[in-house]
Structure 1
């Protein structure tokens, strides 16, 4: 709490200059980046659990502004390996003596992470990769998760209602995800299931699990060597078609999410490689998830609407899926979506249009319209990270064309069109039935109107409390007028006490009345897209 307190205090003052009241403050981009970098250093200092939390936060635009996402996206789960003697005790407690169970075992890990590390070994004449849970990580994670759950109610007081909802779902999702990632038996099951779904796909390969040498804390798999998928120079030297590779990668994840319902949820470049035959190798299935049929259906609706360029249908799909608040400004969100679709097609986004939207919505803090249900957190992470990998492989990659081709080949667009026709037919039948019933009702209503006994009962809905606000303004105005009269009387009668009291009343009423006319519109987040961030980074590196 001591480490996070300065950031929380600064964010609270951004919303209200005097923490509990006052106007909002405008934060310059340089200040946001400085705070994001400070957050990055805090997460590093707090240890492995918070490194994992930072990785999850890097794909949560419903929790953090774009600048923070940009900074945290560089957070890699790469920590110094644990001592071999400690790791050996974990292996032997699970499998028995290392020298008896393996033909050969390299004591130096080939990769290290916050929750586990991977060693290379020989077993029955073939190379295997042995993933070992980091010694003592269970008690550390339990303590850190207790801290996370304890702090969420406090953090909720510093943010708006939408982000408070996202924080709560984030804590639940993080708890479940990190526990699942430490369970190597679950990882083995997920790996086997996902691999089986790609048995007929010659463009992908998954390591086989060695069940005889695996358990809750140790996972032994086939060792598969390959070139890191974002090592574009090495891929070019081998003659790999990077455009086709990016297309295959996106199609693989669309199959996992839309068709199979079970997916590899950690597609960062360290977990994806390309073998000598050009096949995509998937590593590390500790972070994996499932998608229920309803979400799958809505994701298809989302992609079909994007393919058709129907922004209204896209917004409807986002609202139905639970990621967009129904109260969001549809006109503003439609403008942002148009830019996002343009970027996804590989087209250059006009900075003038971006700036125009920013100027339209800038100047006040808006309740962020996006929120992320717990069953969509990993799906969003996959979409965000895969987009970054595909753009690295092909800066002009067209996500929408690839998605449209996939949906068309698998018959999803035809199914959607058929469902639309059936739904329209049902609406027509209902309309015809209503038309038959409405004529007699209309005649009875006209008869009652002619007799003079027709009464109308009306109820006024005011979900935004506009009438209440109007009433308050009337009262404030009356108090202001009374104060002015009282001040005038005090001046005329030369009574300083009455004049001073009336002056304070006038000042208070005037300030309160003025504040009641202030509105909160727009969104504070600037439209930023993966492709633009990638190009900006390239320019900075040059």
Structure 2
């Protein structure tokens, strides 16, 4: 702090004990003097100044993380040389290395905070994002945001928070970032999400924007088309979306219905942990049966041949959101909520005068509608699978 900021001039007080600590940095509560605040922030100060959160990078963490990443990439390259099928792991680690370098620059994070706050505000999506006040490479000062952890069972019950609705809002926030903005936080774990209750409304608080990913226009629309194709059970559109993103496996051309089954499983509705585990067991049991059938008939086994570098971050976001929903026992129609924003992204490709007069997107589904829709689609998928097996 002394190296990168002038604490005696900037802070009226600074708590020595951290509020939280993670692998890259720790956060302290502090008060910035009113006289030191940027223009426009003085009105928010009270008493001695403005309460803030000071994020400080751990000493020596940057070279340590860089050394670990170099070692991991060397191991992955050796595995790729020994077995070419491991090539996707190199792609993933090299992409992660690029994001890690940016994550260690807190000036980059300050820019990310401003960008995401602007995007969500422009979209009319209620959420709380800290405002960056001062930033250097290893220190970041933000306004202090009150709230409680999103996994705080006692606080959620005390405030009467509807967990399904809360996580539905969080999913919509990330769908907006993924499909419309093309700029998203790739680390939405429980430690980076809080809840602020304001005026009887539970608002998600988004923290830690060090690890963010910016998608190209092709990538953004590719993921939107993939989600919508999975929701509509459109194998042709799904194949086209996967091809545009550079996602392929040895059976993509011959058995596209297996790709559809995978993406519908991956983007399925959320639920309690036991239920999610049972669904996963059922899915992987069916995959094992397919693999055994492939071996018996001499069909080429299913294996990944192409993975784009950005796919790991898409997987990570969806996986972390699903895990958080399971922890909170929240039932969220994940694929439907994602596809609503995906429709908006795809509709933007058509000039307004050429769009249909009818509503482009259906209203958000009710819980009953979501359950009926999921049951009907599950039954339809089972019938299609049976018909395919009978014909093959």
Q: Same fold (TM over 0.5)?
A: yes
Aligned residues: 324
Query: Which position in structure 2 is the counterpart of 1:310?
Result: 234
Asked whether 1:227 is paired with 2:148, we answer yes
Q: 1 or 2, which has the higher strand percentage? A: 2
Task: Classify 1:413/1:171 alpha carbon distance in 2 versus 1 (closer, same or farther; 3 Å).
Answer: same
Query: Which position in structure 2 is the counterpart of 1:95?
Result: 5
Task: Classify 1:234/1:315 alpha carbon distance in 2 versus 1 (closer, same or farther; 3 Å).
Answer: farther
Q: Any conservation in 2 of the 1:339–1:349 contact (CA below 8 Å)?
A: no
TM-score (norm 2): 0.73
Q: Any conservation in 2 of the 1:121–1:127 contact (CA below 8 Å)?
A: yes
User: How many Å apart are 1:379 and its aligned residue?
Assistant: 2.4
Query: Which position in structure 2 is the counterpart of 1:141?
Result: 65
Structure 1 residue runs without a partner (length 5+): 1-90, 422-542
Residues 142-541 of structure 1 mapped to structure 2, 5 A cutoff? 142-161=66-85, 163-164=86-87, 166-200=88-122, 201=124, 203-211=126-134, 214-277=135-198, 278-325=202-249, 327-328=251-252, 329-330=254-255, 333-334=258-259, 336-337=261-262, 340=265, 343-344=268-269, 349=279, 355-362=285-292, 366=301, 368-369=303-304, 371-408=306-343, 410=344, 412=346
State how far apart, in whole Å, the 2-side matches of 1:131 and 1:181 are: 13
Structure 2 residue runs without a partner (length 5+): 34-48, 356-392
* The structure with more radius of gyration: 1
Q: Deviation per CA, 1:40-96, whole angstroms, max 9, x where unpaired?
A: xxxxxxxxxxxxxxxxxxxxxxxxxxxxxxxxxxxxxxxxxxxxxxxxxxx111113
User: How many Å apart are 1:345 and its aligned residue?
Assistant: 7.4
Cα RMSD between the aligned structures? 3.2
Task: Classify 1:411/1:182 alpha carbon distance in 2 versus 1 (closer, same or farther; 3 Å).
Answer: closer
Q: 1 or 2, which has the higher helix percentage? A: 1
Q: Any conservation in 2 of the 1:263–1:289 contact (CA below 8 Å)?
A: yes
State how far apart, in whole Å, the 2-side matches of 1:291 and 1:336 are: 25
User: How many Å apart are 1:217 and its aligned residue?
Assistant: 1.1
Q: Which has the higher contact order (CA 8 A, sep 6+)?
A: 2
State how far apart, in whole Å, the 2-side matches of 1:400 and 1:335 are: 13
Q: Any conservation in 1 of the 2:175–2:342 contact (CA below 8 Å)?
A: no
Q: Deviation per CA, 1:205-225, whole angstroms, max 9, x where unpaired?
A: 1111112xx211111111112
TM-score (norm 1): 0.54
User: How many Å apart are 1:267 and its aligned residue?
Assistant: 0.5
Query: Which position in structure 2 is the counterpart of 1:126?
Result: 50
